Structure formats: C-alpha cells, structure tokens
Amino acid sequence: MRSDTGRDGGRTFTERARREQILACAVEAIAELGYARASLAEIARRAGVSKGVVSYYFPGKDRLLEQVVADVYTRAGAAIAAATAGRTGAAFLRAYLEANLGFLADHPADIRAVTEIVMNLRGPDGAPRFAPTGEDPVLGHLEQMLRDGQQAGEFRDFDARSMAVLLRGAVDTASGRLVTDPGFDLAAYTRELMATAELATRRVR
Amino acid sequence: MRSDTGRDGGRTFTERARREQILACAVEAIAELGYARASLAEIARRAGVSKGVVSYYFPGKDRLLEQVVADVYTRAGAAIAAATAGRTGAAFLRAYLEANLGFLADHPADIRAVTEIVMNLRGPDGAPRFAPTGEDPVLGHLEQMLRDGQQAGEFRDFDARSMAVLLRGAVDTASGRLVTDPGFDLAAYTRELMATAELATRRVR
Amino acid sequence: MRSDTGRDGGRTFTERARREQILACAVEAIAELGYARASLAEIARRAGVSKGVVSYYFPGKDRLLEQVVADVYTRAGAAIAAATAGRTGAAFLRAYLEANLGFLADHPADIRAVTEIVMNLRGPDGAPRFAPTGEDPVLGHLEQMLRDGQQAGEFRDFDARSMAVLLRGAVDTASGRLVTDPGFDLAAYTRELMATAELATRRVR
Amino acid sequence: MRSDTGRDGGRTFTERARREQILACAVEAIAELGYARASLAEIARRAGVSKGVVSYYFPGKDRLLEQVVADVYTRAGAAIAAATAGRTGAAFLRAYLEANLGFLADHPADIRAVTEIVMNLRGPDGAPRFAPTGEDPVLGHLEQMLRDGQQAGEFRDFDARSMAVLLRGAVDTASGRLVTDPGFDLAAYTRELMATAELATRRVR
DNA sequence: CATGAATGAGGCTTCATTCAT
DNA sequence: GATGAATGAAGCCTCATTCAT
C-alpha cells in the first residue's frame, strides 16, 4: 500500500483525481464549445488522456454529464446554503441572490455547462432528463422562503411561484450573458437585480 | 411554368409554400425533440417530403436553422412593434411585456425552437452564431426605451442595460417553463412580471 | 416512372436488389469468417458499398441477421414443403431428409450462416434470440409427422420428440461438416442417414 | 516462496488453483452469456480477481479458451475411456453413447462452453481453430471402433465414417438442447439414441 | 503475485450532404 | 423540381492487452 493508493470511500486517490479532472475538462469543453460539440474525444483531449479513459471512469457519456450537474449543484447548493443560513424574508432573499450571482461570478463555466446539459440532455425516450418541473427542488425552496416571508408580513401578497420563477430566470440569464457577452457588467446586474427584488417583494404601505 | 406557379419576388408560389412548410416542420421537430435529435431526416419526414427537398430549398442545415430564427424573430418583432406602437415609458413597458408573453402563449413551439437554436447553433469556428452580445438589437431597443423613460422622468434611475437584461431573462425563462413544466401558469406569471416591472422601474417619491 | 423504379410491395427495384445483395454478402461473410468476424464493415466491403449503406437498408445489425435467418428459413421451408407435399409416414421421412440434405448440398453457406446466427445472436437482455425451445415450429412439424406415422402403424413406438431431435441433429451436423471438413462425403452421409432413419423408425415384426 | 506454495510440476499450489478457478469461471461465463459476451473482464469478475491476473496466467484470451477446450476434452475423454475400456462392438457403442450423454448430463456448462468456443474461436488468419476435419481424433476413434465391429461381424455393412458423424451429431445436438430447451428430456433422448444406434448398426439377419 | 490504470483498435450507428435519374 | 441512393465522417462504446507500482 503506497501513499498514492490510499483508499477513501472505496476509491483510490488517483481514481478520484482522474474523475475530478475529467469532470473539470467536461465542464470546460461544454462551456466553451457548447453541448453538441463537446464530444468524449474533445474532453479526453483536454484531459490529456485517451478516449477510453473517460469510458473507464464513467459508464457512458450520459452518466458523466449527470455527474457534472450533480457536482456543480452540490457545490453551488453548499455555497448558497452557507450564505443564507439562518436568514429569512428580505435578508434571505438578498443573501440568496448575492450568493447565486457570486457563485456565477466565481464559476461561470460551471454554470454555463450545467445550463447546457440541463437544456440538452435527454433520456433514451427523448424526454429531457433535467426538465424543470413543479417538483424542482431548487425552485421549490425559493418559493417556500418567499411564502414564509409573506406569512411573516415582510413581503407583499404576490404569487410566490411566479416570483420564484422570475427571480431564477433573472439569475440564470446572467450566466448566459457572462459567457457570451464580453461587455456584461455582473456587478451592476447584481445591484439591479437585488434592488428589483427588494422593490418587487416588499410590503407596500 | 404552370398556372399555379405565379411568381412573387423571384419565387414561385409552390416554392414559397414548400419553404414555409419546411420551416414550420423544423420548428415543430426542434421544439418537440430538442436540437440534437431534430435531424434533417426527421424534419423531412414531418413535412412529408424526401430529405433531398430540404437540401434543395436550403443550402445546408445551418441556413435552415438561421432562417427559422429570422422567421420567428420577424413575426415576433412585428407583433410586438404593433402592440407598442406610439407608446413610451411605463405604457410601453406594459405593452412590451404583455406582447412578449402573449406571443409566447400563442407560439410556444416557435419560441422554444428559437431558444434551442440560439443556444446551440455554432459557426465553423465553434463560436455561437446568435450569442447575445452588446449589439443585440432586441435588447438594445428595450434598453433605449427604458432610457427614454428615465429621461422623461417616468422611471427611476436604474442601470438601463441591467434592467433590460433582467426583463428579457424573465421573459425568456417563461418560454422554457411553458414547454417543460406542465403546471406553469402563464397568466399568473404575466401578471407578476408586469407588477414587478412596474415596481422596479417607477420613480420612487 | 422509369423501368428501374417500378414498385413492388412498396419497395423499388433497386432497393430490393440491394437488400438481397447485402443479405447474400452477409451470408457469405458469416459462413466464411464466422459470426464474430462478420462485421458490418466486412459485409459492406464484400458488397462493394460503404458501411452506411447497410445501415441504410437495415435498421441495425440485429435486424439484418434476423432477416438472413428468416430468408433462409423461408426458402428452405418452401423447398422441403414442396418435396414432402402429400406424403406421410416413411415416405414423408425419406423425402424430408432428402430435401433437407439436398438444400444443404445446394446452399451450404446459407445453412452455415443461419447456424452461426442462431447460436450467437442475442437480445439486449443477453437471452438467445433463436434458442430452440419446445415451441420450435420446424421441430414441431417433424415430431407431428412422426407421431402420425406411429398412429398409422407404419412406425414403431419410439419417443417422437426425441427422435425428431435426433434426426434434426443428424441433419444439422452435416452443415457443419460440409463447410469445415473438406473430406466430408455428403452423398454417402445422406444414404446412411436415410438408412438409419428407416431402420430406427420402422415397425419391428 | 512460502510453505503454502509447495511445487508440483514447476507450478506452485496456488498457481494451479488459480488456473483452475479461472478456467472454471471462463466455462461458466461462456455457457451463460455466450461466446461474444464472455469478456476477460467478466471472467475476472466471476473469479473475483482483477483482469491482470487472467493475463498473468494465460498469455492471451485465445490461449485461455484453447485451454478450456483441452481441459474439458481431457476430462470427458477420460470418463468415456473409463466407461468403454475393454469393450468392442455393440457393447462399446452402448457404453460410448451412455458415457457421452452421461458426461453431458453431469457437465452441461462445460459442453456448452466448448461448443461455443469450437464454433467461434479462429486463428489470426480467420481459419477455425477447432474445425472438425478428417483428422478429428474423437471422430476417428469412434469410426475405428465401428469398423472393428463390422469386421467382427457384429455390425452391418454401413459407411463407418458417415455413421460416426451421424452419431456424434446426435450426441452434440443434445448439448445444445440441454442448455436452451428447458423441456428437453435427456433420459428419454438417451434411451432413443441408444435404441436407434442399435437398430441402425446391427447385422440384419 | 496482483492490481489499477491506460491504451488503441475496432464495432455499430447516426447524420448532413451529394448525385444520378 | 423531386427522389432515392450512397457516402464518409464522427460519435459512443467495448474490449484485449500492456505496464508501472
């Protein structure tokens, strides 16, 4: 047993490193070239390994892409959860939006890649694999927090579901801009989105 | 040359009909199957013609897809222009959003298809063909109208560019929801978006 | 409408010709190289066409192989049915075996290919696609004819099922020999098989 | 070299055990999954070892498969030789067929695996590795014993070669049935085959 | 001895495109 | 104008094999 074969969760050190490397290269390739052009060959090329290696670590391209999504979701979710811990109402909303756009600013490629995958990856039956539906947990959480703020009397009486969709749409659009529009000013956008959220949700006297 | 092939702009009647039919089937296929699965064969199948016909009318798949985008943009632009004609400031904004979401409600497949194409179609160099940039005419127009409203004293002093991006993002997200989220309530969303826009842009006393 | 595009059963003349050509080349390749080495590329090469053409005419390799089996079964069945028409008992058995071995002599590659496919082709679940089971129609027919001969008092009281399996095995083994054993004497084998069948089935005084 | 690695014929105890284990798992995998799906990875998985181990003990997959055949042939040959020792003529034939079908009943997977390998394994030139030819020792032995029986006046004057092929075919077909046809009655088949052999070979008065 | 890791060839399939008719 | 036919590239995947540790 050598130092580079230490086990952790059933996986060797090198295996975990390779997996992460491949995931990173997949994100990079998708963010840069788009979903359709991000072939396994391209991902392997960026990782400096042969095509077979990718298949060796992931049982199929779909699984790899799903892993990318799960990976980024996990990291983004953790960052946002940490930033919003213990907050409710307007304070939550501010922290939530700030954390979302902050993650975007720090990991634009990750978000871009996830967006591409979510929009394009389909199951064998042709149905979208990550289609946003009523049960979307991300959206559901935001909606619930908005509803809580309303019950606490902090927010006005808007349709929580629609407002949640609107705010997520405003967040998501930023990721697209960030990658393709070089003139996009994320800081200004963040300020304006937070102001808009504040004005659109606060209880009117 | 037969009697049923009257000329119009250098194109016979049947030719124009075929083109429109193919474009319509392309929209249908992309909206239903997604960008990657909408092959020329599938489009031809839906149009009830052979693959060769598609190639005959459009010099390459890319051109066909570009034409789909141009087509829908033209129709949507006309509808929105008609609805907002002569209006400025808050009145313009209301009419603009209402017309946008109205077009969405009337032509969800068109919007879905265009979204897919815009996100996926790339040039030979790999660069996005329709990437939103600073020169995006759609966005530019909205931005200008917002700026006009500010100068007229009707709107508060927000960053017009960011607000334009935000509102477009809020509009675009609705198209995605409309197709994949069966529980999405477009009417409620429209109301909430218009309320939000009103609250976020009006001059605060 | 030209002479080479005459329709027949929804298929053009060229299409039927190509299909038959591909089927023939598949038989040839499998008989010569064995199941595992008979790739689509090899089949296409023998047909003098590109790999894509095979996929153009058959929706997948499995379907092509299934078609080979169906094809040969149909032809062999027709030949045997014609040779045994109206016969029963020992006369049927003689004609049956003679027709079987005759078809073998005339189309050794076909039989060899079918044998390979039947033994190797598996479904997506890994289960054999043509596994001989109790419901095997070919075997069932022979068994029934043997039983009829017993009831007519022409045959002794053997186990009809076992005898059917035995005779089919004796027929099938000849196809293997014919291809791989250059010294195999089919005529002598035919004589001996018919003599054996006669001796093994006839009513003993 | 430890105490548990006593040498025998140049091979340690564990080495021989490993070889036998791998051979057994190869048989199992081929019998169950068929030739094409029995990959080294699958065989290694069933043996509970890594792929490298298989390569370590056998210099290539072909050699492993050849060894499987040799192994089963050796065991089957020994069993049959023991059962037929000292017998000739009809007595030999009865014992021979009984021992063959008995081995089949006791080791169906072995026979199935060998059948698959014999039918599929090819040399680099594409030629079958185990094709039955005129020099087939198994067949040759049976043929010789039949001839001896004829010269002893016990058998009628059939073509010994053809009869040998016929009987081997009747034996081999049972192995195929045994694996794929759940309703196959091996005991009944054995009885019928022995009766048939008796009737077909005995000297007619 | 044994393992995990990596390779590269080859297979099947899909698809945009071209061309003769 | 329109079609069926054919191509060839590219994609994903599986697998036997090799190698450093």
3-state secondary structure string across A116-180: HHHHHCECCCCCECCCCCCCCHHHHHHHHHHHHHHHCCCECCCCHHHHHHHHHHHHHHHHHHHHH
Enumerate neighbours of B (3 or more CB pairs within 8 A).
A
Please give the single-letter amino acid code of residue C43. Answer: I
Whether pLDDT at B161 is above 70: yes
Whether pLDDT at A3 is above 50: no
What is the per-residue pLDDT for B4? 46
Distance in Å, residue B38 CA to nucleotide E16 C1': 12
Mean pLDDT of chain B: 90
Test A37 with B122 for CB contact under 8 angstroms. Answer: yes
Whether pLDDT at D114 is above 60: yes
Q: Which window residues (129-158, chain A) lie with Cβ within 7 Å of strand E?
A: none
CB-closest option in B33, B120, B172 to A169: B172
CB-closest option in C126, C163, C181 to D37: C126
Secondary structure letter of residue A25 according to DSSP: H
What is the per-residue pLDDT for A178? 87
Query: How confident is residue B204, by pLDDT bands cut at 50, 70 and 90?
Result: confident
Mean pLDDT of chain C: 91
At B59, list the tokens: 């010099």
What is the per-residue pLDDT for B125? 83
Enumerate neighbours of D (3 or more CB pairs within 8 A).
C
How many whole angstroms separate alpha carbon D89 and alpha carbon D81? 15
Distance in Å, residue C24 CA to nucleotide F15 C1': 29
Test B165 with A172 for CB contact under 8 angstroms. Answer: no
Strand locations in C7-94 (E) = 7-8, 11-12
User: Which residues does chain D have within 8 Å of residue C158's beta carbon, measured at their own beta carbons?
Assistant: 192, 195-196
**What values do phi and psi take at C83, rounded to 5?**
-75, -25
CATH 3.30.160.620 holds for D10-58 = no
Query: How confident is residue C182, by pLDDT bands cut at 50, 70 and 90?
Result: confident
List CB contacts of A88: < 8 A, sequence separation 6 or more: A145, A148, A149, A152, A154
The arithmetic mean of pLDDT across residues C69-95, rounded, is 96
* Pair B26, B113: CB distance under 8 Å: yes
* Pair B164, A193: CB distance under 8 Å: no
Distance in Å, residue C52 CA to nucleotide F7 C1': 7
Tell me the H-state helices in D107-159. 108-120, 137-151
Q: Is the CB of B55 under 7 A from strand E?
A: yes
CA angle B129–B131–B134, rounded 5-degree value: 130
**Among candidate residues D104, D109, D130, the one with its CA nearest the CA of residue D118:** D130
**Closest Cα in chain B, distance from residue A121 (Å):** 9
Which residue matches tokens 């039927």?
C16
Test D163 with C35 for CB contact under 8 angstroms. Answer: no
* Pair B189, B107: CB distance under 8 Å: no
CA angle B57–B60–B65, rounded 5-degree value: 85
pLDDT digits (tens, 9 = 90+) for B103-159: 999 999 999 999 999 989 998 888 888 877 777 888 899 999 999 999 999 999 999
Other CB atoms within 10 Å distance of the CB of residue B36: 14
At C201, list the tokens: 């089935």
More confident residue, C6 or A46: A46
Mean pLDDT of chain A: 91
The arithmetic mean of pLDDT across residues C53-69, rounded, is 95
More confident residue, C180 or D10: C180
Please give the single-letter amino acid code of residue B178. Answer: L
Please give the single-letter amino acid code of residue D141. Answer: H
Residue A155's DSSP bridge partners are: A202
How many whole angstroms separate alpha carbon B171 and alpha carbon B176? 10
B62 contacts chain A (CB < 8 A): no
Q: Is residue A113 classed exposed, middle or buried when 0-12, 13-18 and 19+ CB atoms within 10 A define those classes? A: buried
How many whole angstroms separate alpha carbon C75 and alpha carbon C91? 22
For CATH 1.10.357.10, list the domain ranges present in chain C: 69-201
List CB contacts of C87: < 8 A, sequence separation 6 or more: C95
Residue D7's DSSP bridge partners are: D12
B185 contacts chain A (CB < 8 A): yes
Helix C89-106 vs helix C186-201: crossing angle, to nearest 10: 160
Share of chain C above pLDDT 70, in %: 94
SS3 of B50, please?
coil
What is the per-residue pLDDT for B205? 62
Distance in Å, residue C53 CA to nucleotide F5 C1': 9
How many whole angstroms separate alpha carbon B70 and alpha carbon B58? 14
Residues 135-164 of A with CB under 8 A from B: 136, 158-159, 161-163
* Pair A108, A174: CB distance under 8 Å: no
The arithmetic mean of pLDDT across residues A148-153, rounded, is 97
Whether pLDDT at D79 is above 80: yes
The arithmetic mean of pLDDT across residues D169-187, rounded, is 90
Test D159 with C191 for CB contact under 8 angstroms. Answer: yes
The arithmetic mean of pLDDT across residues D121-141, rounded, is 84
pLDDT digits (tens, 9 = 90+) for C62-80: 999 999 999 999 999 999 9
Query: How confident is residue A73, by pLDDT bands cut at 50, 70 and 90?
Result: very high
SS3 of A93, please?
helix
What is the per-residue pLDDT for B198? 97
At B4, list the tokens: 């049923």
Q: Among all residues of chain A, which has the CA nearest to that of B181?
A: A133
What is the per-residue pLDDT for D3? 42
Fold of C69-201: Tetracycline Repressor; domain 2 (1.10.357)
Whether pLDDT at A133 is above 80: no
The alpha carbon of residue C153 and the mean position of all alpha carbons in its chain are separated, in whole angstroms, by 31
Whether pLDDT at C179 is above 60: yes
CATH architecture of C11-58: Orthogonal Bundle (1.10)
Query: B62-201, which class in CATH?
Result: mainly alpha
More confident residue, C199 or A2: C199
Test A191 with B166 for CB contact under 8 angstroms. Answer: no
Query: How confident is residue B5, by pLDDT bands cut at 50, 70 and 90?
Result: very low
What is the per-residue pLDDT for C124? 87
3-state helix, strand, coil in chain B (%, to 5): 70, 5, 25
* Pair B89, B203: CB distance under 8 Å: no
Q: Which window residues (1-30, chain D) lie with Cβ within 7 Å of strand E?
A: 5, 12, 14-15, 18
How many whole angstroms separate alpha carbon A62 and alpha carbon A143? 30
CB-closest option in B133, B195, B196 to A181: B133
What is the per-residue pLDDT for D124? 84
Residues 24-43 of A with CB under 8 A from B: 32-37
**Among candidate residues A37, A43, A69, the one with its CA nearest the CA of residue A56:** A43
DSSP codes, B106-175: H-HHHHHHHHHHHHH-B-TTS-BSS---TT-HHHHHHHHHHHHHHHTTSB-S--HHHHHHHHHHHHHHHH
- Which CATH superfamily includes the segment(s) A9-201? Tetracycline Repressor, domain 2 (1.10.357.10)
pLDDT digits (tens, 9 = 90+) for B10-57: 567 777 888 999 999 999 999 999 999 999 999 999 999 999 999 999
Residue A80's DSSP bridge partners are: none
Nucleotide F4: closest residue by CA–C1' = B50
pLDDT digits (tens, 9 = 90+) for D29-52: 999 999 999 999 999 999 999 999
Residues in chain C, overall count? 205
At D159, list the tokens: 């073509």
How many whole angstroms separate alpha carbon D179 and alpha carbon D33? 12
